[in-house]
Every structure is written in structure tokens, then in C-alpha cells.
Copies of this chain bind each other. A is one copy, B any other.
Amino acid sequence: MNERQRVRRPGGRSARVGAQVHQAVTDLISERGYGNFAVGDVAARAGVADSSIYRRWGDLESLLTEVALTRLNTQSPMPDTGSLAGDLRTYAAQVAREITGPDGPAVLHLAVALSGSGQQGRQAGDALRAERTRQLESVLARARDRGENAPDALDVLDHILAPMYIRVLFGMVPLTPDYIDGLVDRLL
């Protein structure tokens, strides 16, 4: 890319490099797993210079944290079906689709690995959990406003999200619709 193009479309180039680097990270995590590649591997796969990555993200862990947060936070909007059972069934099915999709298990493994690897990773895990809890609270509060009995957000974590996460982390897939609905019915 020549200098004139860079001056004319700085946002375009920056966004494109960001997308290429994110995709390279996701591919490498799927192929090799966390801990088995370096900044140079990401740069080569994305077709950018190592220095571009160091300049923008600082180090590999910061880049991995951004990828995990972006991937796990860009989820479908929270459902509003008119009943708590309907909302939770739809929500659980969305999460199941995300974590069993093409890069889903790899991204989930990455998020868990980052949580166990120092302060930055723990903060990313905390941020992710806070966002999920905030989304869930809105669904649960709406149910209470309708006069329904609603569990705590932590109960949803323990009995709907945790079983699905553990099954995907240990390769116990697929998660069938009957299995997912059964988790919701048991909780309610």
C-alpha cells in the first residue's frame, strides 16, 4: 500500500489490519492451542510486520485478551420472548451455538487460559463475567416485573452456562436442543 492510500483511508487500513490480526490469532489458537505460537507467527499469518503488532497491542497477551473479549462479547442480543423460560431457552441455545461453532471451543479455551495467567487475564475474565451478568440481570429483572419467580444470575452461571462450558472444554459435544432445554427446565 502506498503513502497516498494510507493518508486517504487510515481508518480503513487500521480496521482491516485489526480484522486480519484477529483472524490470524483465532486460526492459530484453533490449530495449535494457547501457548504454542508467538507474535511472529501471528504477523506472518496476518501478512503484517511484527512491529505493527507490538506497536498496536504491546505484547501477545494483550492481543489475545482483546481477541477473547471481542469474540465472547459480540453475541446476539438478549432475547425477549415474553416468558423467562422462553428467554433462557433462547439465550442458552445462542451460547451453545457460539461455543460449539467453528472457532468456539478454541476461543473458550483461550478465555480460560487467560484467566489463569496473570493479572491482565484475570481482569479480562472479570470484565467478561460482568458483561454476561449485566445482560442476564436485564432478562431476570423483566421476569420479576412480570411477576415470575426468577433465579439469581449466578444460578444461571452455575446450572446453565457452567455445564455447557465444561462439556465443550472437555470435548463432550454436541450440545443437543433437548440437553439445553433440560438445563433450563431443571433450573426453573
Q: Which residues of A contact B (CB under 8 A)?
A: 33-36, 105-106, 109, 112-113, 115-118, 122, 125-126, 129, 157-159, 161-163, 165-167, 169-172, 183, 186
Contacts and interface: CB of A to CB of B under 8 A. Distances in A.
Given A33-B116, A34-B35, A125-B170, 15 more contacts: A33-B117, A33-B118, A34-B116, A35-B35, A35-B36, A35-B113, A115-B169, A115-B170, A157-B163, A157-B166, A158-B159, A158-B183, A162-B162, A162-B167, A166-B166
B170 A129 contact: yes
Chain A interface SS verdict (over half): helix
Nearest to A35: B35
Nearest to A166: B162
A40 B5 CA distance: 48
Contacts of A115: 169-171
B113 A34 contact: yes
13 contacts: A33-B35, A34-B113, A35-B113, A106-B116, A112-B113, A116-B169, A129-B170, A157-B163, A158-B167, A162-B163, A162-B165, A162-B167, A165-B166
Nearest to A169: B112
Nearest to A121: B33
Contacts of A162: 162-163, 165-167
Contact of A116 (B109, B126, B158, B165): B109
Given A35-B34, A116-B105, A163 B171 contact: no
Nearest to A161: B166
Point out which of A34, A105, A183 has the most chain B C-beta atoms below 10 A from its C-beta.
A34
A158 B163 contact: yes
A2 to B, nearest CB: 39
Which 8 A-B pairs rank lowest in CB-CB distance, beginning with the nearest? Answer: A35-B35, A158-B163, A33-B117, A109-B116, A162-B166, A162-B162, A162-B163, A115-B170
